[in-house]
Chain A
Amino acid sequence: MTAMRDSDSVLYWISVDGVVVGRNAGGPAVHVRGERLDPTASARRGEVNRDR
């Protein structure tokens, strides 16, 4: 995985095979290599956060 990051954001430049997209009871979600990204936070803040 290639990730260029500062304190607030992560830019992923990876194979599509590392991305799992889906929907569960909580709504749409994206996982990258098993880590859940939070699209709501991303949309709200204009950045990509990782919910560990």
Chain B
Amino acid sequence: MPTASPPVLFWLRSERDCTAVAAADHARVAGLTAAAADLGLDLRTATVDDVVVTQVGEAAIVRVRGDRVDPRDTFFHADSLGRPAQAPDTWRVLSTIGILEAAGFMVTVPAVHSITWTDTIVSLLRFDLGEVRTLPSARLCTREIEVHRDRLRVADWGLEFPVAVRPAVRRPGDRVFIAESERRLTTLLQLVGASELTVLVQPWLGEHVVEHVVVCIDGEPTGLEGALAERLSGPASSVATALGLAYVRVGFVQDADRFWLSHVDCTGFAPDLDADAVRVQLAAYREAFHRFRAAGDAVSASAHGGEA
């Protein structure tokens, strides 16, 4: 039976994002909300402090800002929380997502996926895609790096200078630093160590490489044509299918006719997505929710049939 109101998608945000006064953030939220409304979704922002879960008898009761919500008409989304400034909120958000799953709600990205796939190194370790190679990388925690200068020996990882140093958790707008020598690398690592930022050290392929991001819906690549589709459809599908999520972005870099897997992103509304891309992501979540609700209805009908 169709619900009278559009499904509600609560976007759980870190207070450090949610209370931002930046006009750009307000415009972004407004844009997402409008796009969701066009697709028949009621997108609302909230923080984990707005969510109260209680157990009454055998049933979990979830309230958001005092209003009881139902898994048949409400689902939840949370962004990746990999930035150091978000650290105080990370566990609160992830544990809340896990609790909501246990309470029978659909979440766009389960807590275990957020934990597992947020750090780029995981996808680089996990996938061996044959002809599309995987970027050689070393992931390095940098606390007290100035004391443990031997923590990373570049040659141990088959890397040669120049190398690229980038945050292990990708965020749009992050800079990539280039180290042309051991001395320069030491300086960079001491700088990032001041904020205890975990980094990846990778080959610097040059300015000329091209980055491709393949959006996969339910494991199927979208938007690829011609030779690029021939090269990347299979690898992108392999990655997205392994994650098993409604919406996954798979990143590759291209140097002439060579391709490397560079990252996998299954979390969050990327700030740099254009309007069409946002609609694709929201529509994927909407369809996944429809399937979730239909599956729940089927189980419910079966249970009632069994009782008859």
Which A residues contact B (CB, under 8 angstroms)?
Answer: 15-29, 31, 33-34, 36
Q: CA of A22 to CA of B124 in the docked complex: distance in angstroms?
A: 8
0 or 1 for each of B148-177: is its CB under 8 Å from A? (1 = yes): 101111001111000000000000000000
- A24 — which chain B residues lie within 8 A by C-beta? 136, 138, 157-159
A-B contact sample (4 more), CB < 8 A, given A18-B151, A29-B157, A34-B153: A21-B139, A24-B159, A25-B158, A33-B151
Q: CA of A49 to CA of B103 in the docked complex: distance in angstroms?
A: 42
Contact A20:B151 (CB < 8 A) given known A25-B158, A31-B156, A36-B156: yes
- A17 — which chain B residues lie within 8 A by C-beta? 141-145, 148, 151
Q: CA of A17 to CA of B141 in the docked complex: distance in angstroms?
A: 5
For residue B121, CB closer than 8 A to chain A, the reply is yes
Q: CA of A31 to CA of B128 in the docked complex: distance in angstroms?
A: 20
Partner of A16, one of B124, B141, B152, B201: B141
Residue of A nearest to B140 (CB): A20
| Secondary structure of the A contact surface, majority rule | strand
Q: CA of A19 to CA of B119 in the docked complex: distance in angstroms?
A: 15
Q: CA of A26 to CA of B158 in the docked complex: distance in angstroms?
A: 9
For residue B74, CB closer than 8 A to chain A, the reply is no
8 residue pairs A–B, Cβ–Cβ below 8 Å: A20-B141, A20-B151, A21-B121, A22-B121, A23-B124, A24-B158, A31-B156, A34-B153
Contact B151 A22 (CB under 8 A): no
Partner of B136, one of A15, A25, A34: A25
Q: How far is the CB of A40 from chain B (nearest CB, A)?
A: 13
Partner of B150, one of A22, A27, A34: A34
Contact B151 A34 (CB under 8 A): yes
For residue B80, CB closer than 8 A to chain A, the reply is no
Contact A23 B137 (CB under 8 A): yes
For residue B125, CB closer than 8 A to chain A, the reply is yes
- B134 — which chain A residues lie within 8 A by C-beta? 23
